[in-house]
Amino acid sequence: MAPSAIAFPGFAVPHALSRAEIAEVVESWRQAARRTREAGFDVLQIHAAHGYLIHEFLSPLSNQRTDEYGGSLENRMRFLLEIVEAVQTEWPADKPLSVRLSAVDYLEGGLTLKDTVEISKALQAKGVDLLDISSGGILSARIELGPGYQVRFAEVVKQATGLPTIAVGLITSVELAQEIISNGRADFVALGRELLRNPHWVLQAKPDPELWPKQYERAIPRP
């Protein structure tokens, strides 16, 4: 399923959702939020990045609808905002609600950082607590990679909205993570592939015996 019947290169043409089917997807999000609450999770994140369904609605490259869910940025973000509203009916107000966004599509005619700032302001108005700012994923694009290459997006969104942000993207060293937080460029740093490579990265970053599980005490690095 998708907002429009446009295939990602090499994949089958998706089914363009009807208005009734969009409502069904939004209801599925509400039910998922209920299950998340009942399971006892402390934070819920709506993933609206990386070419997944919500991002497809946000990006003009994948959304060519002519109804109230397509065209203007206001229309293209309608699906996301309806999901947020549905989730909030089930998710406790005293627990953080986060949304992950792709700040830019890296392609002409795609999402821009200016668009993402406007989307972020709309999410802020809806009561979202935390924004996780990534980028890309709607189509293959040339991206200049480097340590912390996406941090600037989180920094701009934080400055524009005042909301706490999560920075991501090739953050592999303690020094870089500390620089981001210390200089107020973002409020949190999230690690993905680095934790897959080294699940003990956080413990090794600060070998404080109070942070280590008892079973690991004999493995604490010594000066």
Q: Is residue 13 part of a domain?
A: no
Q: Is residue 101 part of a domain?
A: yes
d(CA 34, CA 126): 19
The residue range of the domain holding 107 is 19-190
Q: Is residue 92 part of a domain?
A: yes
Q: What 3-state class would DSSP assign to 147?
A: coil
Q: Is residue 79 part of a domain?
A: yes
Catalytic residue among 50, 69, 106, 200: 50
Number of domains in the chain: 1
Q: Is residue 205 part of a domain?
A: no
- pLDDT recorded at residue 30: 98
- pLDDT recorded at residue 98: 98
Q: Is 47 a catalytic residue?
A: yes
d(CA 100, CA 183): 22
- pLDDT recorded at residue 200: 84
Q: Is 200 a catalytic residue?
A: no
pTM: 0.92
**Which helix (H) or strand (E) segment is 167 a member of?**
strand 165-167
Q: Is residue 8 part of a domain?
A: no
We report the CATH number of the domain holding residue 134 as 3.20.20.70
Catalytic residue among 52, 55, 69, 200: 52
Helices (H) and strands (E) in the chain, counts: 9, 5
Write out the chain's pLDDT in tens, 223 residues. Answer: 999 999 998 999 999 999 999 999 999 999 999 999 999 999 999 999 999 999 999 999 999 999 999 999 999 999 999 999 999 999 999 999 999 999 999 999 999 999 999 999 999 999 999 999 999 999 999 999 999 999 999 999 999 999 999 999 999 999 999 999 999 999 999 999 999 999 888 888 876 778 788 888 888 777 6
Calculate the CA 173 to chain-centre distance: 21
Q: Is 55 a catalytic residue?
A: no
Report the candidate in 22, 116, 139, 30 with the shortest Cα–Cα distance to residue 78: 22
- pLDDT recorded at residue 223: 66
Catalytic residue among 47, 69, 106, 216: 47
d(CA 144, CA 155): 18
Q: Is residue 211 part of a domain?
A: no
Q: Are 141 and 153 in contact (CB under 8 A)?
A: no
Q: Is residue 40 part of a domain?
A: yes
